[in-house]
Amino acid sequence: MKKFVKMFAAFALVLSVVGCSTSKKSDEITTLEVQFVPTNVETADGTSKEFETYLENLLGMDVNVTIATSYNTIVEAMKSGKTHVGIMPPATYVIARESNSAISILSSTLVDYDQETEQPIAGSSVGTFKAEIVMKKDAPINSYKDFEGKTIARLGTASASGYIYPVAEMIEAGVDLSTITFVEILDMPSAMRAVYDGEVDACYVFEGARYVFQSAVKDSNGNAIDVWSNFKVMLSDGDIPNDAVAVLPTLGDELTEKVKQAFLDMAADEEGLAIMSSWGHTGYVESDEAAYDSIAAYMEKAAAEE
């Protein structure tokens, strides 16, 4: 894993020396700084304000919720101590954890999707998901090798589903990545729109993306694109652990426990569930660090090609 962190410097994540954090002790914190990586940037601002008010009521203290502009941003915010709590994609958490900037207190659960229809399975709740590659319905692509010579939109090299897992599996399948042109598009609906418009041949997203963004992928006239008739998908073999709710190691036991309980309480409350749905979360469970350890091999393999 140490090797991975050095290699991942190419992704613009320069890990600073532990101890440079300017974080305050928990008894000195008057405003809890919370940051999350949005699933949909179009609705992120509204979600942040609702979430801010919701947490203030649960915690009985001032809360400031901000939106990470990239996967790197939230890692740097935790490292500097400017963010106390981060809702972090799995690979991003592993990077923050490796620099001793974050400890996961909970993992999210998600609805499971039927892998044939990509429709949510009622009442389901799972701790992992798969990476998904979206392409046009008639694209002559049926295996990883068929992506050679193609242009693919990725969600940033620190994204598990948006880069790391599909790239690692392509490497395992013997794909020559030097023949692939990668275009960075950090918004999933925009990436899917780029596929529709023929600007790219495919895009990396997460399992269930067509269902989640079926009304958000729009054509040049602002009309929703029929994601079912226009696209087909390919799923990764590997399972990806869900998002982590992580805190600064210096946050302190009392405040950490209050934050943890607040997230657990959200799943039992209608308003809380509505906020969580903005990230696709259905609930929270105790973290299993071993699950996040499983990402390391994928990260190293993907980073080796950078």
**Can you give the pLDDT at residue 4?**
40
**Can you give the pLDDT at residue 271?**
92
**Can you give the pLDDT at residue 148?**
97
Find, among 116, 113, 95, the residue nearest to 104 by Cα. 95
163 vs 167: CA distance, rounded Å: 6
Q: Strand pairing of 31-36 and 85-88?
A: parallel
Please state which of the ranges 12-16, 120-124, 137-141, 210-214 shows the lowest mean pLDDT. 12-16
pLDDT at position 109 over 50: yes
pLDDT tier at 22, thresholds 50, 70, 90? very low
Residue 164 is encoded by which pair of tokens? 């790391």
User: What mean pLDDT is predicted for residues 213-218?
Assistant: 94
User: What mean pLDDT is predicted for residues 117-129?
Assistant: 90
Find, among 202, 191, 110, the residue nearest to 152 by Cα. 202
pLDDT tier at 44, thresholds 50, 70, 90? low
231 vs 205: CA distance, rounded Å: 13
**Can you give the pLDDT at residue 43?**
60
To the nearest whole percent, how much of the chain has pLDDT over 90?
66
State which amino acid sits at residue 52.
E
247 vs 84: CA distance, rounded Å: 6
168 vs 110: CA distance, rounded Å: 23
pLDDT tier at 297, thresholds 50, 70, 90? confident
To the nearest whole percent, how much of the chain has pLDDT over 70?
88
Residues 209 and 110 sit within 8 Å (Cβ to Cβ): no
**Can you give the pLDDT at residue 61?**
96
User: What mean pLDDT is predicted for residues 106-134?
Assistant: 92
Please state which of the ranges 112-121, 222-231, 233-242, 255-264 shows the lowest mean pLDDT. 112-121
**Can you give the pLDDT at residue 147?**
98
Domains of the chain with CATH codes: 28-110+242-292 (3.40.190.10), 131-235 (3.40.190.10)
pLDDT at position 190 over 60: yes
pLDDT at position 19 over 80: no
pLDDT at position 221 over 50: yes
Residues 106 and 257 sit within 8 Å (Cβ to Cβ): no
User: What mean pLDDT is predicted for residues 211-236?
Assistant: 95
**Can you give the pLDDT at residue 5?**
39
**Can you give the pLDDT at residue 11?**
39
**Can you give the pLDDT at residue 288?**
87
* Averaged confidence pLDDT in the chain: 87
Please state which of the ranges 32-46, 100-114, 279-293 shows the lowest mean pLDDT. 32-46
State which amino acid sits at residue 73.
T
Q: Which is more confidently placed, 109 or 1?
A: 109
Find, among 39, 61, 34, 27, the residue nearest to 49 by Cα. 34
Record the pTM: 0.79
Lookup result for tokens 């000195």: 28
pLDDT at position 26 over 60: no
Per-residue pLDDT of 236-294, as tens digits, reads 999 999 999 999 999 999 999 999 999 999 888 999 998 888 788 899 999 988 888 88
**Can you give the pLDDT at residue 115?**
87
**Can you give the pLDDT at residue 232?**
97
37 vs 33: CA distance, rounded Å: 14
